[in-house]
Amino acid sequence: MILDPFGIDTTHCLIGGEWAPCKSGETLALHDPSDGSPLCAIARGDAPDIDCAVAAADMAMEGEWGRMAAAQRGRILHRIGLLVGENIEPLARLEAQDVGKPLKQARADVIALARYMEFYAGAADKIHGATIPYLDGYTVYTLREPHGVTGHIIPWNYPMQIIGRSVGAALAMGNACVLKPAEEACLTALAFGELARQAGLPAGALNIVPGQGGEAGAALAAHPGVRHLSFTGSVAVGRRIQAAAAENLVPVTLELGGKSPQLVFADADIDAALPFLVNAGIQNAGQTCSASSRILVHESRFDEVVRAMAERYRALRAGPALADFDLGPLVSARQKSIVEGYLDKGRDLTVAARGTIDGDAPAGGAYVAPVLFTGAAPDHVLAQDEIFGPVQVVIPFADEAEALAIANGTPFGLVASVWTADGARQMRLARALRAGQVFLNNYGAGGGVELPFGGTGLSGHGREKGFEALYGFSTLKTVAALHG
């Protein structure tokens, strides 16, 4: 299929600035999760294609891209961002069809991608080294340098946002990227590659090889020519990526999701909290690394919060992505059966409320109505596992110590939020919560391109977004000159 209006063949890879089929010529089928119908075919890249992509990236580092002034890199990123911004509608429609995201959420992702490009365009020439006072007769300074070829393995839930935060930051620092999109979600990655080419990104600075995780993905993770790996996805695959990185002794950034809590204290402004409590659970049908799947509420306000959340849940509707309901389908029938498996494990809990699936939603779509549970002990599987579906549990607590113990009582640590007017409590908990981001009287802060993001424990390590990402995508060289 030719990707409209980008004019590229969906079965092609982008290597060295050229679009071409993968070496085997094999393809994988993409399906529209809104009705299960075949969408198009994509390349089934594998190790030989990854070899070519790494070689092309290497050549880019040796050539024009590697020598380019930081300000010029910034200008190119800026142009990419402008082109993305000129294509909000076609990109959003592609994403909606490919991953089942409701149109308004897909549009927000395109805008976030454009914003990442804008942010990293501006940052490209603002990261610099230092001079260090040293012994008499010496001048010592540091240089921030790109790693070289960087590997980016991304998931299907937010392809555009993750391209923005990962590839955007890596390019800003002057690395040459090899991107392996998820097999379920390639189309906006391919479109992005074409827009980057049109914006004047030199050949080989961004290479895109679609394919399966165990094939193209594993080959990229293990490739000795790759000098840094960034991965967003499951804990199980994250372990494999880190093991592969260990073989080549290269740094790795892992963002592996979470079980993020919101803590609602007795003095919280419940009306202000409500939209955040619910949206953080059902946005993108719960298929969000930073989804808030645990709502911890002081026992004095528990019934009130459950009642108010339940009312919102009952109004939620899931339906085809292009029809733009509150929720689309899940990304695939496989993901739907994983989530339904969890709903089954919640049979001993109380369903406080359930949303609905629109009556006209096609039977072949991967729809799951959102479910709000109560009655889960903090160690219940639904309060411990990352479900990656529209499922939240509400758990009562008696005091701050218990709230903290429950909040920190999972192996994850990505995001947390605290709803309270008590400033001292806010400060205490901001320090004590095990999370890479803590929000006070809000959740998610509107995307937060500028805000360092990443986790601890099973949520992974390393930081993306903001300026911090630029340190991760570069290395520091110390130069010591003895001149007398």
Catalytic residues, which ones? 255, 289
Give min distance, CB of 183 to ligand ADP, in A: 5
Beta bridge partners of 29: 41
Which range binds ligand ADP by CB under 6 A, 25-33, 104-112, 231-239, 247-255? Answer: 231-239
Q: Which is nearer to ligand ADP, 174 or 454 (CB)?
A: 454
Q: Which is nearer to ligand ADP, 39 or 331 (CB)?
A: 331
Q: Which of 108, 218, 291, 391 binds ligand ADP (CB under 6 A)?
A: 218
For 302-305, which contacts have Cβ atoms below 8 Å and span 24 or more sequence positions? Answer: 302/394, 302/396, 304/270, 305/264, 305/270, 305/273, 305/277, 305/394
- How many other CB atoms are found less than 10 A from the CB of residue 339? 21
Give min distance, CB of 328 to ligand ADP, in A: 16
Q: Which is nearer to ligand ADP, 185 or 278 (CB)?
A: 185
Q: Which of 42, 186, 237, 357 binds ligand ADP (CB under 6 A)?
A: 237
Q: Which is nearer to ligand ADP, 155 or 329 (CB)?
A: 155
Give min distance, CB of 233 to ligand ADP, in A: 3
8 Å CB contact between 398 and 376:
no
Give min distance, CB of 331 to ligand ADP, in A: 8
331: Cβ–Cβ under 8 A, 6 or more apart, which residues? 33, 99, 100, 156, 157, 184, 185, 287, 366
Q: Which is nearer to ligand ADP, 100 or 202 (CB)?
A: 100
Report if residue 316 touches ligand ADP, rule: CB under 6 A.
no
Q: Which of 213, 320, 455, 466 binds ligand ADP (CB under 6 A)?
A: 213
8 Å CB contact between 297 and 268:
no
Give min distance, CB of 186 to ligand ADP, in A: 9
68: Cβ–Cβ under 8 A, 6 or more apart, which residues? 174, 202
8 Å CB contact between 374 and 393:
yes
Pattern 241-270, ligand ADP, x by CB under 6 A: x-----------------------------
Rounded to the nearest 10 degrees, the angle between the axes of helix 70-86 and helix 187-198 is: 130
Q: Which of 155, 319, 346, 355 binds ligand ADP (CB under 6 A)?
A: 155
Report if residue 233 touches ligand ADP, rule: CB under 6 A.
yes
Which range binds ligand ADP by CB under 6 A, 211-219, 397-405, 427-435, 469-477? Answer: 211-219
Pairing of strands 2-3, 8-9: antiparallel
Q: Which is nearer to ligand ADP, 182 or 309 (CB)?
A: 182
Which range binds ligand ADP by CB under 6 A, 56-64, 230-238, 294-302, 468-476? Answer: 230-238
Q: What distances in angstroms separate CA 367 from CA 39, 77, 371, one per listed residue?
A: 18, 37, 12
Q: Which is nearer to ligand ADP, 118 or 386 (CB)?
A: 386
Report if residue 109 touches ligand ADP, rule: CB under 6 A.
no
Following CA atoms 167, 170, 172, 174 in sequence, which dihedral angle do they give, to the nearest 10 degrees? -130
Which range binds ligand ADP by CB under 6 A, 108-116, 147-155, 271-279, 293-301? Answer: 147-155
Q: Which is nearer to ligand ADP, 128 or 239 (CB)?
A: 239
Q: Which of 92, 96, 123, 153 binds ligand ADP (CB under 6 A)?
A: 153
Give min distance, CB of 104 to ligand ADP, in A: 23
Which range binds ligand ADP by CB under 6 A, 200-208, 234-242, 269-277, 412-420? Answer: 234-242
319: Cβ–Cβ under 8 A, 6 or more apart, which residues? 325, 327, 328, 357, 358, 360, 361, 367
Q: Which is nearer to ligand ADP, 39 or 353 (CB)?
A: 39
From the list 97, 92, 126, 90, the residue with the least C-alpha distance to 112 is 92
Q: Which residue has the tokens 């990236």?
A: 57
CA atoms within 13 A on the CB side of 24: 17
Report if residue 221 touches ligand ADP, rule: CB under 6 A.
yes
- Which of the residues 162 through 201 are near ligand ADP (CB under 6 A)? 180, 182-183
Which range binds ligand ADP by CB under 6 A, 43-51, 128-136, 151-159, 187-195? Answer: 151-159
Would you tell me which residues interact with ligand ADP (CB under 6 A)? 153-155, 180, 182-183, 213-214, 217-218, 221, 233-234, 237, 240-241
